[in-house]
Structure 1
Amino acid sequence: MVLNLDFLTSDDAPNTNEVTPGSRDGELCLRFDVPSGNEYALPASGVREVMSVYFDRITPIPNASPFFLGTYNWRGQVIWVADLGQFLGDRVLVNTDQNEVSILIVEEQELVMGFAVRAVANTEWLDVKQMLPNTGTDAALPASMSGFVKGVYQLSGTETAELRLLDQVAILRSTNWTI
């Protein structure tokens, strides 16, 4: 059975560079935010699982990189869990005083890692044709983030809010993950 999705799209929509919910053009992405409030997205194809984990299940590792919260036993495999916002240059850290944290389990070939984030919003189709260059409109894009952002989307309804599409392969294979 073939499903025709033409009835879900509207030809009357103006052609803008804003993210519009409901559009099925482009790539399916998982939208989330980090403790500083900045919004990001990852291609859904690279996200294996989204989970809420109790902090006492994450084992801290002494003398590890400050990006790492510790290790977690995910389905019998020990994986690193990192504060994604801190890795990307945000100054606000994941609140370890709360009971739980949202973790995105991201995989690329043999590499698997958990990224701690503040909240997971939803999945959304992001059209590559609507993507702005990496700089977007936010002049405060940290240099530490430049190699990990594929592009920026202007969020509809606002002039300053942006959604940054991340490159999970570049993040996982980064040389910044020193232990």
Structure 2
Amino acid sequence: MSNSLSVSGSGSLPTSLQFAQTAPVQDLAANHSSVTEQFLRLHLFPSATVLLPIQQLSEVLTLPTGRVVPIPHMPAWVMGVYNWRGEILWTVDLGHLCGFTPWYQQATNVSSFPAVVLQARSSTAGSARNQMLGLVVSRVEDIEWCDPEMIQPLPRTTVSPQLAPFLRGYWWKAGGDMLAVLDGEAIVRAMPQP
């Protein structure tokens, strides 16, 4: 896996993401404590903000809606497949998977949508392998630095049943914002095997 998050496609991205495109993670980490980890902040419709570890992400994309090919007999949150660098990339509506409003109900007349490429370990039938998924989100926001020890579990009874399996915990940001931290490997495990 590369040491930097690359950004491709058209569209405006936050300055910090454009900086991350050209700076290796190690260079950025030199400015922060050795106990912090980088997370990419993503917005899910209507008002949820979630974090995914940068080490599980490889790229930020802008996907043209007409280039995602739907696949029948899949869960509604599986949008289809996309030709990414000559490889098949399964695309998932992350908000819909987590119990929020599906992408197709959010906006009309949209020609493209933002996505992040998740690379996580998948264990099936005793074998482990890396699997890539395109996670469609409402917006890619910024990079957050967080001490992993500050991520707190939340009682599963206070979390929606759709979100609970994908939740690593919550992080209370210094300004009082509570951000959900997702588990990329749990998202990959939820993907049905074609």
Report what 1:49 is aligned to: 59
Report what 2:184 is aligned to: 168
Q: Mean Cα displacement is larger for which, 73-82 or 120-129?
A: 120-129
Q: What code does the residue aligned with 2:189 have?
A: R
Q: 1:94-126: per-residue Cα shift (whole Å, max 9, x none)?
A: 146311111111112431111100001111111
- Structure 2 residue aligned with 1:93, among 86, 102, 106? 102
Moved over 6 A (4+): none
Does the 8 A contact of 2:77 with 2:102 survive in 1?
A: no
Does the 8 A contact of 2:117 with 2:133 survive in 1?
A: yes
- Find the aligned partners of 1:40 and 1:24 in 2 and give their Cα distance: 23
- Does 2:69 align with 1:59? yes
- Does 2:63 align with 1:39? no
- Find the aligned partners of 1:119 and 1:106 in 2 and give their Cα distance: 15
Does the 8 A contact of 1:89 with 1:145 survive in 2?
A: yes
Structure 1 residue runs without a partner (length 5+): 10-22
- How well do the aligned residues superpose, as a CA RMSD in angstroms? 2.5
Count of aligned positions: 156
- Find the aligned partners of 1:142 and 1:76 in 2 and give their Cα distance: 37
- Structure 2 residue aligned with 1:146, among 145, 161, 164? 164
Secondary structure of the residue aligned to 1:169 is helix
Does the 8 A contact of 2:74 with 2:192 survive in 1?
A: no
Report what 2:134 is aligned to: 114
- Find the aligned partners of 1:133 and 1:63 in 2 and give their Cα distance: 34
RCO higher in structure (CA 8 A, sep ≥6): 1
Structure 2 residue runs without a partner (length 5+): 1-26, 121-128
| Larger Rg computed on CA atoms | 1
**Post-superposition shift, 1:44?**
0.4
**Post-superposition shift, 1:75?**
0.6
Change in CA separation of 1:38 and 1:135 when aligned onto 2, cut-off 3 Å: farther
Does the 8 A contact of 2:42 with 2:141 survive in 1?
A: yes
- Structure 2 residue aligned with 1:73, among 80, 83, 99? 83
Secondary structure of the residue aligned to 1:173 is helix
Q: 1:64-96: per-residue Cα shift (whole Å, max 9, x none)?
A: 210111110011011210101111112x11146
Report what 2:6 is aligned to: none
TM-score scaled by length of structure 2: 0.71
Percent of aligned pairs with the same amino acid:
25
Report what 1:177 is aligned to: 192
Report what 1:14 is aligned to: none
- Find the aligned partners of 1:82 and 1:31 in 2 and give their Cα distance: 17
Q: What code does the residue aligned with 2:154 have?
A: N
**Post-superposition shift, 1:127?**
1.0
